[in-house]
Amino acid sequence: MKIKITVAGIALSLASLCFANPSGENVFYLGAGKSVNGEYGDKGKGAGTLGFLKLRANNDSVFGLDISSEGTSYHNGSPESAASVNLLVGKNFSRSDTGRFDGAFLIGARTKETTCPRSYLGYRCYADTDPDTSYAINFGAALFYTHQSLTAGFRFTGESRQVLLGFRF
């Protein structure tokens, strides 16, 4: 529950920064790919990302936020897909009248393990209580090429490799 509130707060803060400052450009993107570090048969399962990127027009800085389903987490010892929340910080490498090439480092947190007493009624945890969750650091890089209003790129982390597609507004 705490992570959901934190993610919502960060997303709202980032969105307000982007819309309050008209001197930059915004990119919304989706990603799809494969997990690379899965255990117990999870390797190669699908990974996905939903992200937002702020491209600053008055300087070369780039920053953003993404939420991803990648890698492996364990719930009471059973493997399942992990969730991560990541901050992207980077710079513009090249810019022209119709396009730009940007790169960003990515750092965040992903679920590593959740534990709770088992439920006898089909809930995830006994008496529908919140599980105890441990987190691991998630890091990587992302590359973006934006041509007019279309953005394409790649996202590489220790947990997955993904192709990105988005639009600039």
Would you say 158 and 138 are in contact if contact means Cβ atoms under 8 Å apart?
A: yes
**Whole-model pTM above 0.85?**
no
CA distance linking residue 58 with residue 24, whole number of Å: 7
169 residues of the chain, pLDDT tens digit each? 455 556 656 665 655 555 555 555 899 999 999 888 655 545 557 889 999 999 887 788 999 999 998 888 887 778 888 889 999 999 999 988 888 999 999 999 999 888 888 777 777 788 777 888 899 999 999 999 999 889 999 999 988 999 999 998 8
CATH number at residue 73: 2.40.160.20
Domain that holds residue 121: 2-168
Q: How far apart are CA 76 and CA 125, in angstroms?
A: 10
User: SS3 of 163, please?
Assistant: strand
Query: Of 161, 164, 163, which Cα lies nearest the Cα of 34?
Result: 161
Q: What is the DSSP string of 66-81?
A: EEEEEEEEEETTEEEE
Count: domains in the chain: 1
